[in-house]
């Protein structure tokens, strides 16, 4: 004889018990997480990570700016070289059209070119130093 009565709770009661247990566990976990988040140690860790992240971003930006600066300087140097080469070529053409009147002219032009390049490098280095001092 089997008696179905008080010994085995109905399925609904078991389901309600399971739901209630799940709610209690969930609430306990939520409280535990909230307490941990409020702790000074966690706050300090969050602040440390934020500070590290900001520092990394600033470093990345600084690196990118330096890279762009170097690219711009290289481009300026390249353009300057091209202009100087054009000037030299024009000087050669003028000299040839004059029938090579002066054999010293190319040598003087080359000296002038070297002097101009040296002055340009000095200007660039000076500007670089000023910029670095301002930073």
Convert the pLDDT of each residue in 47-97 to its tens digit.
999 999 999 999 999 999 999 999 999 999 999 999 999 999 998 888 777
Residue 38 banded pLDDT, cuts 50, 70, 90: confident
Is 70 domain-assigned? yes
Q: Which residues contact 88 (CB under 8 A, 6 or more apart)?
A: 109, 110, 113
Is 4 domain-assigned? no
- Estimate to the nearest angstrom the gap between the alpha carbon of 68 and the chain centroid: 11
Element at 53 (helix H, strand E): helix 40-97
The rounded mean pLDDT for the chain is: 86
Residue 107 banded pLDDT, cuts 50, 70, 90: confident
Q: Which residues span the domain enclosing 27?
A: 12-134
Q: Which residues contact 110 (CB under 8 A, 6 or more apart)?
A: 88
Is 5 domain-assigned? no
Whole-number pLDDT of residue 118: 92
| Whether this model's pTM surpasses 0.75 | no
- Total domain count, the chain: 1
Torsion angle, CA of 38/42/46/52, rounded to 10 degrees? Answer: 160
Distance, in Å, from the CA atom of 22 to the CA atom of 25, rounded to the nearest integer, reads: 5
Distance, in Å, from the CA atom of 116 to the CA atom of 15, rounded to the nearest integer, reads: 91
The percent of residues in the chain predicted with pLDDT above 70, rounded, is 88
Is 2 domain-assigned? no
Is 99 domain-assigned? yes
Is 1 domain-assigned? no
Is 115 domain-assigned? yes
Is 74 domain-assigned? yes
- 120 pLDDT higher than 60: yes
Residue 1 banded pLDDT, cuts 50, 70, 90: very low
- 114 pLDDT higher than 60: yes
Whole-number pLDDT of residue 16: 87
- 115 pLDDT higher than 80: yes
């Amino acid at each position: 004889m089997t008696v179905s009565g008080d010994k085995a709770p109905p399925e609904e009661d078991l389901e309600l018990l399971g739901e209630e247990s799940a709610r209690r566990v969930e609430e306990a976990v939520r409280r535990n997480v909230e307490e941990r988040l409020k702790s000074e140690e966690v706050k300090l860790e969050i602040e440390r990570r934020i500070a590290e992240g900001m520092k990394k971003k600033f470093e990345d930006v600084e690196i990118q700016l330096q890279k762009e600066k170097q690219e711009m300087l290289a481009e300026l140097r390249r353009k300057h070289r091209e202009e100087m080469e054009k000037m030299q070529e024009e000087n050669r053409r003028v000299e040839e059209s004059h029938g090579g009147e002066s054999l010293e002219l190319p040598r003087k032009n080359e000296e002038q070119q070297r002097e101009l390049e040296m002055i340009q490098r000095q200007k660039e280095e000076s500007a670089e130093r000023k910029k670095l001092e301002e930073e």
